Amino acid sequence: MSLTGGGNRLGIQEAFDAVRIAGTIIAFGIPRENITIDWGKYLIDKELTILSVFGRQLWRTWHQTTKLLKSGKIDLSKTITHRFKLEDFEKAMSVMKSRKCGKVILEP
């Protein structure tokens, strides 16, 4: 299973590449641009299932994700590229707006 919630084109591409054969992509982010996928590579050869999540399914998905994170089966630490103190909010926003980062964390 691969969850893609950021709506970032590169993140979506990484989700398609990372999910196992016959796996499932769960999409709940809204991209700002049109996204194209290699239909043959992902839907035919890799036999992926793509689900979108809205409303009631979103909460179930959050609970499943929480369990996976707590169990250690998923490690998202590699997606965090920057950490800032809360008072450095403007610097953090500048990094995010540059789109040259992964996840940016603000810490108290």
Q: What's the CATH code of the domain at 66?
A: 3.40.50.720
What pLDDT, in 10s, does the model give residues 50-103?
888 666 666 777 888 889 889 988 888 888 999 999 999 999 999 999 988 999
Q: Contact at 8 Å (CB) between 14 and 38?
A: no
Full domain range(s) for residue 6: 1-75
The verdict on 43 and 81 lying in the same domain is: no
The verdict on 55 and 19 lying in the same domain is: yes
pLDDT of residue 45: 93
pTM of the model: 0.49
Minimum mean pLDDT range among 12-16, 21-25, 55-59:
55-59
The verdict on 8 and 59 lying in the same domain is: yes
pLDDT of residue 57: 66
How many domains are contained in the chain? 2
Q: How far apart are the C-alpha atoms of 1 and 30, rounded to whole Å? A: 19
